[in-house]
Structure 1
Amino acid sequence: MLTTLAVANYRSLRDLVIPLGRLTLVTGANGSGKTSLYRALRLLAETAQGRLIATLAQEGGFTSTLWAGPETISRTMRQGRVPIQGGPRSKPISLALGFAGDAYGYAIDLGMPSPENPFPLDPVIKGEAMWTGERLSRSSLFAERRNALVRLRMSDSGVWREAMDALSPFDSMVTHCADPADGFELLSMRERMRDWRFYDALRTDPDAPARRPGIHTYTPVLASDGADLAAALATIRAIGDARTLDETIEAAFPGSRLLDDPAGLRLRQHGLLRPLGPTELSDGTLRFLLLVAALLSPRPPELMVLNEPEASLHPSLMPPLAHLLKTAARQTQIVLVSHSAALIAALRETGCCEEVRLEKSFGETAAPDCESPAWTWPKR
């Protein structure tokens, strides 16, 4: 389980280190930095897929994603005695992302490209580190990258060896230096990061992928756009927790049940003479079914991140959704970003979530109610 998320100089997250629990609820007003935190987690996952640099370019390039304020905000600036202004930098320009958990920790440090770089929107990777346990230290470090040089510590002898001395500044050691022998821990962490799941684009409009006809086939993981909803629900019933599936549908829509129809999704609702297909379901009903398929996956990931899943849902669906999240958190760690007062209240009643409330001051996102875990960034 991840216990710490650290972000430095990414959008409004100038220096944020927060704790993560089994089910972490991220709240805050609009513009407080919730989406930036979600994107930071997604960028870490993109590192394991080899897409980090391209994703940052798609966000507008390295400079547009950097913290736009001064390197430090002094007390006199906060008191209004002097204007907000920059000054001589004491550290190099950097955007850093990292996490730590029970087993491993990882951090990556991105910097400005050189003037002759033909791709000015792309940052370069200045440093990376991977270590065992929650704290980075000389003894826990087992993989290190500084500029183009990557060193791995051999698991049997503890001796360091050079794995690569000319790694491209656009490539991560996570994707290019994982070795089944000397770099087994690096390989293991890469595969675990690749298994993280993100759901923030579960569309319910008339042209949504989930409304298209779908056949029942083995589908233990719901697609990120929900296109295989019918197959995912059928797979839960066949090899997953069918009882919880039925109980969740009953709690959300009393008197309703999903039908085993090989032709696709069919929901029998109380009072109707025939079941409804995906094109006939309301936006809220369809979205709830999408969340059910994601959270009751027969192949739960180590980490699932949901961004504002309550969209289109009636307040009456928040208690069943909170119970579903609590149930799913027994098998997978969940980070939930939400500003729904009804869902937040329902989750608080379950007593199973750790809440991280974000607020913004002087353009900077902070978590004032959280005690920041100890964190050390790797050296360049």
Structure 2
Amino acid sequence: MINRLRLENFKAFRELKLPLGALTLLTGVNAAGKSTTIQALALLRQAHDAGVLDADGGFLLNGDLVELGVGRDVLHEDYSDGRGKRAVPIGIGLTIDDHDVAWRVGYDPSRDREADLLRFGDYPLPDPGDYEPLPGLFGLGFQFLKADRIVPAVHYPKSYEAAVRKGFLGARGEHTVNFLRTHRDDEVRASTVRHPDAKSDGLLDQTESWLQVVCPGVNLAAEDLRGTDLVQLSFGFGGTAGIHSSNFRYRPTNVGFGLTYSLPIIVACLSAGEGALVLLENPEAHLHPRGQTMMARLACLAASAGAQVIIESHSDHVLNGVRLAVKEGVLTPDRVALHYFDRNDGKIDITSPQVGHDGMLSEWPLGFFDEWDRALDRLLD
């Protein structure tokens, strides 16, 4: 498991040392660095997948996972110059079970302003054996779902490479329907994440049962459009799930955003095995409060089964879902990390409240999900 993330001169941070848990919740004001922390991990994965995480490579800034622009977009505005050297160090480091590894590039402002591959140069690199044991970040257990996920559509791509060989849902969840079609009968191995009301332990039935928390009575079907490189998703209300469901089917475009938007998150959590790494941006989008709380609980259940889950969220319902999961024994407090990002006078401050066994927080920083109380005070004034 990744115990700590370290950043140097990277985007929002001149220096960052951020503890991570089995379940990490990143919250706070906009443009305060929450996405930067997730992007740093995705950037390492992107460089690894491209085969450039070695002495001849570097940080590949633009790819399928993240599009960070060019060198000048990544360098922190108030950077540390690395002992006066011409090349400014930009680094990403991890602590893995108390063992430190780090990757650093040398950014030359006169040469690398427009470069989208920042090279490692003369900086020492970790031995691959030091980080390859991370099946989540560098193996088949990686999922990263951006805030701008797939929208309701008539068809979705059918990629054997992504959905079958790599088991990847896509950064926007675009391969989720094909993954679900291919693995519909696969057993959800972790008993902790299985929905008790599902008809079976198969992935499709389990996905449907969790989706019914968002929309009671819904069922879904994922079909192959033969002779094409496309698959089709449809929803029904009542009846049974499956490839051939007899009840009237609805296109995703006719049932709203919430079901389609939440589908990749549910599938990611159900399919996350031990050692997996799941990065989720705004899992609450387009969901009513009960659905938001459910997403947090499912993420906690995945973490309790051995995955590592990192969530960026602006929802107090997601926060409360995590707190309830701790109170109900899904996760122990020491396996949860909460971080609140704020900006004060141009500087980013991070406060990390602790969750007690009763779900209560050790502190409640100013601005930390307090808008309800502030609005209520004004209404009662």
TM-score (ref. length: structure 1) = 0.67
Distance 1:222 1:213 in 2: 12
Correspondence list, 1:63-82, <5 A:
63-69=72-78, 71=80
Q: Does 1:253 pair with 2:215?
A: yes
Q: Given that residues 304 and 333 in structure 1 are in contact (C-alpha distance below 8 angstroms), is that contact kept between their aligned partners in structure 2?
A: yes
Secondary structure of the corresponding residue to residue 96 of structure 1: strand
Q: Given that residues 14 and 79 in structure 2 are in contact (C-alpha distance below 8 angstroms), is that contact kept between their aligned partners in structure 1?
A: no
Deviation by residue 1:138-157 (Cα, 9 ceiling, x = unmatched): xxxxx3xxxxxxxxxxxxxx
Secondary structure of the corresponding residue to residue 253 of structure 2: coil
Deviation of 1:226 after TM superposition, in Å, equals: 2.7
Deviation of 1:8 after TM superposition, in Å, equals: 1.4
Deviation of 1:354 after TM superposition, in Å, equals: 2.0
Deviation of 1:357 after TM superposition, in Å, equals: 1.4
Deviation of 1:252 after TM superposition, in Å, equals: 2.2
Distance 1:186 1:342 in 2: 35
Distance 1:203 1:268 in 2: 22
Q: Given that residues 275 and 307 in structure 2 are in contact (C-alpha distance below 8 angstroms), is that contact kept between their aligned partners in structure 1?
A: yes
Q: Does 1:100 pair with 2:95?
A: yes
Deviation by residue 1:267-323 (Cα, 9 ceiling, x = unmatched): 222599612233333111111122222222266762111112222222231122122
Q: Does 1:199 pair with 2:145?
A: yes
Distance 2:150 2:237 in 1: 19
Correspondence list, 1:211-250, <5 A:
211-212=154-155, 219=164, 220-241=167-188, 242=202, 244-250=206-212
**Counterpart in the other structure of 2:323:** 348
- Structure 1: any 5+ residue segments left out of the alignment? 72-87, 131-142, 144-173, 175-183, 372-380
Q: Given that residues 236 and 245 in structure 1 are in contact (C-alpha distance below 8 angstroms), is that contact kept between their aligned partners in structure 2?
A: no
- Structure 2: any 5+ residue segments left out of the alignment? 53-57, 189-201, 226-231, 240-245, 355-381
TM-score (ref. length: structure 2) = 0.67
Deviation by residue 1:183-232 (Cα, 9 ceiling, x = unmatched): x55655699525432110553445x5xx4156798744423333333332
Distance 1:259 1:117 in 2: 49
Give the aligned residue type for 2:311. Answer: L
**Counterpart in the other structure of 1:333:** 308
Correspondence list, 1:277-316, <5 A:
277-297=251-271, 302-316=276-290
Distance 1:119 1:294 in 2: 35
Q: Given that residues 26 and 310 in structure 2 are in contact (C-alpha distance below 8 angstroms), is that contact kept between their aligned partners in structure 1?
A: yes
Larger radius of gyration: 1
Q: Given that residues 265 and 278 in structure 1 are in contact (C-alpha distance below 8 angstroms), is that contact kept between their aligned partners in structure 2?
A: yes
**Counterpart in the other structure of 1:78:** none
Deviation of 1:261 after TM superposition, in Å, equals: 5.6
- Among 56, 59, 63, the alignment partner of 1:53 is 59
Q: Given that residues 90 and 107 in structure 2 are in contact (C-alpha distance below 8 angstroms), is that contact kept between their aligned partners in structure 1?
A: no
Distance 1:368 1:310 in 2: 22
Q: Given that residues 22 and 307 in structure 2 are in contact (C-alpha distance below 8 angstroms), is that contact kept between their aligned partners in structure 1?
A: yes
- Among 123, 126, 133, the alignment partner of 1:127 is 123
| Greater length-normalized contact order (CA 8 Å, ≥ 6 residues apart) | 1
Secondary structure of the corresponding residue to residue 350 of structure 1: helix
Secondary structure of the corresponding residue to residue 60 of structure 2: helix
Higher mean C-alpha deviation, range 111-120 or range 6-15: 111-120
Shift in CA distance, 13/261, structure 1 to aligned 2, threshold 3 Å: same
Deviation of 1:114 after TM superposition, in Å, equals: 8.7
Higher mean C-alpha deviation, range 23-32 or range 50-59: 50-59
Secondary structure of the corresponding residue to residue 351 of structure 2: coil
Deviation of 1:127 after TM superposition, in Å, equals: 1.7
Percent of residue pairs bearing the same amino acid type: 22
Deviation of 1:110 after TM superposition, in Å, equals: 1.6
Secondary structure of the corresponding residue to residue 6 of structure 1: strand
Distance 2:115 2:249 in 1: 55
Size of the aligned set, in residue pairs, is 301
Q: Given that residues 132 and 138 in structure 2 are in contact (C-alpha distance below 8 angstroms), is that contact kept between their aligned partners in structure 1?
A: no
**Counterpart in the other structure of 1:320:** 294
Deviation by residue 1:232-258 (Cα, 9 ceiling, x = unmatched): 223443113235434312322222223
Q: Given that residues 16 and 365 in structure 1 are in contact (C-alpha distance below 8 angstroms), is that contact kept between their aligned partners in structure 2?
A: no
Deviation by residue 1:100-130 (Cα, 9 ceiling, x = unmatched): 1127542012213496789766533242343
